[in-house]
Structures are given as C-alpha cells and as structure tokens.
Amino acid sequence: MGSRIPSHQLSNGLYVSGRPEHHKERPPTLASRAVPYTGGDVKNSGELGKMFDIPVSDHLKPHRPSSSSGSFRSGSGPNSGSGPISKRTSGSGPISGLHPTGLLLTSGPVGSSVGRRSGQSGQVEGQAVNSAKGKTVYGPAVTVLGFDDVKVGFKVSKTLMWMLLVVVVIGLMVGTFLMVAVKKPLILVSVVAVLVLGGVVVMWNCGCRKRRLMSFLRKYPDAELRGAVDGQFVKVTGIVTCGSIPLESSFQKVARCVYVSTELYEYKGWGGRSANPKHRCFSWGCRNSEKYVADFYISDFQSGLRAVVKAGYGAKVAPFVKETTVVDITKENLDSNPSFVTWLADRSLSSDDRVMRLKEGYIKEGSTVSVMGVVRRHDNVLMIVPPTEPISTGCQWSCGLFPTYVEGLVLTCDESQNDDVIPV
C-alpha cells in the first residue's frame, strides 16, 4: 500500500496536510523584564559582550537550553543586536563603527580623532599627549614660544644711525686736529664729553626700554569691540576663557590656562657652567624654557562682546606675564624636593651640584587680561589677530627715550593669577 500523507485539523475546523507544528517558547525581549546593572562586567553583560566581540571564559558562559525544551537562541530576538557588525582589532581603542544602528563610539576629549587607540603617540590639532617620560607635548594648534621670542627693540631708522656714527667720527678727527694745531686739549675734552653723554643716553634707553614699553601698554586706551571695524588696531581688556585646547602648567599642574610658562634658571659664578651661550658670569641664565599659548576667548569689559584671540597655530605672540619662583634649589636641599628631581628627569636634565631656580607664570581661565591686536570680522565671527606691523611707543626726546617697539600679539597681565580669578 502507498504511504499516506499525514494531515491535521486546525482550530477553525479546516484540515491541512502535514504534521501539527509544536509551538515553541517565545524568546524574551529586553523590555519584558528589568535588566540588572552589570557595572561594566563583561561576564554579566550577556549579549552585550557578544555584540562587541569580547571573549568570555567557557565556565562563565550562560547555559544554553536544548531545542526540545524551548531554546533561547542568541540573535533571535528583535533587540538582540543581530546583524553584520564590523569587528575591531585587539586593543583598547574605540570601535570603528556599528552599521546596524549607526552608532559610533569614541573616546578622548572633544577634537580627538576617530579610531585612535589609547597610548598612541599621534596628535590631533593641539590635543595634549603625555610622552613616555611624563612631559606634556601639544600639537600644532598650540604655539610654542622660546625664551627670547619677545622682540623688544628701538625703532630708529638705519639712516639716522649711520648719520650719527659719521658725525661722531668727524668730531673725533676735528677735535684731535685742533688739539694738535692749537695745542688746546679743551677742544678734545669737549668732544669726548659729548660722546660720553651720547653713550649714557643709549645705555639709559637699553636699561629702561622694557619698563617704558610696559608703561605705554598700560596707558594705551581700551577700545570698544562693538564699534571696532575690520582691520582696526585695538586694545581689549576683559575676562579670558579657554578655547577647545586648555593648557596646564608644567610643574604646579595648574589646569585650564590659556598661557603657561615654566623656566629653569641657573646661577653662574666665576668660571662656572653656562646655562646657555649668552649666559654671563655672576648672573642667572635660562637653561630650559617651556612656553605655550593657544586660541582663547576674551569678553570685553566695554561692550560685553566676546572675541576669539588667535594666538595658536604658530602665531607671533608677545606675552608680558609676571613669573613667580616656585622652587629654589641648592646642593643641600636637592634631595628634599623629589617632585623637582622627577621634573628634571622627565626632561633629561642633570641634577648635579648646581644652584637652580624654577619659575612659573600662567594666565588662568577667569583672569583679567589685556590684548592688543587687529580686529577681524569673518562670517559674524569677531577675532583679534596679531598685527602685521610692530607696535611702537613713539619717541620722547624730552626724556631722552628712543621709540621702542614690540612684535606680535601683545598679552599683558600685571599680577600673578593666583587670586582675583573670576570663576567661569
């Protein structure tokens, strides 16, 4: 006899071919019960750990029931996270992408690159990266200033200087000739006196040029950003706030600064070691200098407007910020300053029997600062950029002072920013 095709009756009375289907237990969804907090433990995270391809030891894997008893198969539920997922390589970096949901997970501060792994030496813009020795290194968005980058000089034409030199030579020749011909040394003495007076005036200007420049910068009137036009040179005084790249001082670790400076000085006696090629005897010379400045914001006291100060990306900046001594080191107290010894070791600087002094200066967020630069308006963005021409004080012949100039964007802050900082 031929084989009989099996059939069965449905609940509505109809007969259909085939064997009756056994109803399987419906897998639970995430919304059907409360999900316990795992605390980030992959062992307790279930399907979440599988979704990110994190291996779990065999003895900790959840028991899978057999298919005959109503299985709970991974990936069968609507919220189980099944589907193609681009896997990442081993390491501690972020996942490259989750295509089903469009979710992208990244780590690090704002502005960091996607896909960077922790400990990677690359930098993005001005993001601070700690080197293997512990020294903070910034990217190209942060301007690195040298020890003598602030150019302060006399704005006197070269033609006038050559004319004065010619007059001096002619005066000496005429005085010598008259002294020999007339036999009166008073003429030569008068010429020498005039030359000595001229030398005193030059020395006076050299010694007072920075003080004269600071006086000029303080007395320069503040401008109102509301009425400033594009290309106008202004001085703006107000409260500063950090941009996308806050800075941190090297030794004291003062956070959220727009400008930081840490300089190591050494004293040189008679025949001692020089801290730099220009170091003279019986004076302090700079051995190591770390100065950084980045783009920041300033809120004008006059109008209340806020402008972007473009001090980063290698801009020419002339900061006049008072530094304070944080550590004085001699042969006797070197061992009692382990943090200073560590700071030296991070920079591969020797800690032998030298008289050293560490100074730090900074402009912290919330400080009152004066900025001198040129206004730029672009797409409703108000900016202050470095001027193309040097800033000159002008001449004061009545005081015997030559015109003094400084190049770059000027930042002035009279006092150290330890007190009187407005929280922002």
Report pLDDT digits (tens) over 42-88: 555 555 555 555 555 544 444 444 444 343 333 334 344 444 434 33
Residue 379 domain flag: yes
* The domain boundary residue, chosen from 208, 226, 243: 208
Percent of the chain residues past pLDDT 90, beyond the cut = 32
* The domain boundary residue, chosen from 142, 175, 208: 208
Looking at residue 39, its pLDDT comes to 52
* The domain boundary residue, chosen from 175, 192, 208: 208
303 contacts: CB under 8 Å, gap ≥ 6: 224, 225, 226, 227
Residue 111 domain flag: no
Do 333 and 401 reside in the same domain of the chain?
Answer: yes
Do 267 and 204 reside in the same domain of the chain?
Answer: no
Do 313 and 166 reside in the same domain of the chain?
Answer: no
Do 197 and 215 reside in the same domain of the chain?
Answer: no
Structure-model confidence comparison of residues 132 and 230, the more confident one: 230
Residue 340 domain flag: yes
Residue 261 domain flag: yes
60-64, 259-263, 410-414 — most confident range: 259-263
Residue 253 domain flag: yes
Do 227 and 162 reside in the same domain of the chain?
Answer: no
Residue identified by tokens 């057999």 is 66
Do 186 and 237 reside in the same domain of the chain?
Answer: no
Looking at residue 109, its pLDDT comes to 35
Looking at residue 169, its pLDDT comes to 80
Instruction: Give me the number of domains the chain comprises.
Output: 2
The tokens for 173 are 């020749």
Looking at residue 118, its pLDDT comes to 32
Average pLDDT in the chain: 74
Structure-model confidence comparison of residues 256 and 204, the more confident one: 256
Structure-model confidence comparison of residues 314 and 31, the more confident one: 314
Structure-model confidence comparison of residues 37 and 109, the more confident one: 37
Looking at residue 145, its pLDDT comes to 92
Residue 204 domain flag: yes
363 contacts 259 by C-beta, under 8 angstroms: yes
The tokens for 70 are 């109503």
Residue 46 domain flag: no
Do 228 and 340 reside in the same domain of the chain?
Answer: yes
Do 197 and 319 reside in the same domain of the chain?
Answer: no
Q: Which of 7-11, 110-114, 273-277, 417-421 has the lowest mean pLDDT?
A: 110-114
Do 287 and 406 reside in the same domain of the chain?
Answer: yes
- Of the pLDDT bands very low, low, confident and very high (cuts 50, 70, 90), residue 159 is confident
Looking at residue 208, its pLDDT comes to 74
Mean pLDDT computed over 146-161? 71
Q: Which of 46-55, 97-106, 344-353 has the lowest mean pLDDT?
A: 97-106
Segments forming the whole domain that contains residue 194? 155-208
Structure-model confidence comparison of residues 235 and 110, the more confident one: 235
Do 255 and 276 reside in the same domain of the chain?
Answer: yes
Do 204 and 239 reside in the same domain of the chain?
Answer: no
Do 172 and 298 reside in the same domain of the chain?
Answer: no
With a cut of 80, say whether residue 381 has pLDDT above it. Answer: yes
Residue 194 domain flag: yes
